[in-house]
Amino acid sequence: MTKYTHLTQEERYQIYGLRMRGFTGKDIAQELKRSESAISRELRRNAGPNGWKPGG
C-alpha cells in the first residue's frame, strides 16, 4: 500500500516562490523531490481568480 504524505506549509510557500520565479510544475517537483502529480494537485487546488496562493 502506498503511503501518502501531506505537503507542509513550508513546502507550499516554496512552491509559491518557485512558481513566481517562473518554474514549471515539473521543475518544482524535481526541486522539492515530490511527485509531479502532488505539485499539480496543489497548484490546481489552490488556484483562484487572483492566481495561486499557498494553502488557499
d(CA 22, CA 6): 24
Q: What is the pLDDT of residues 14-39, one digit of tens each?
A: 999 999 899 999 999 999 999 999 99
Q: How many CB atoms lie within 10 A of CB 7?
A: 17
Mean pLDDT for the chain? 86
Domain boundaries, the chain: 9-45
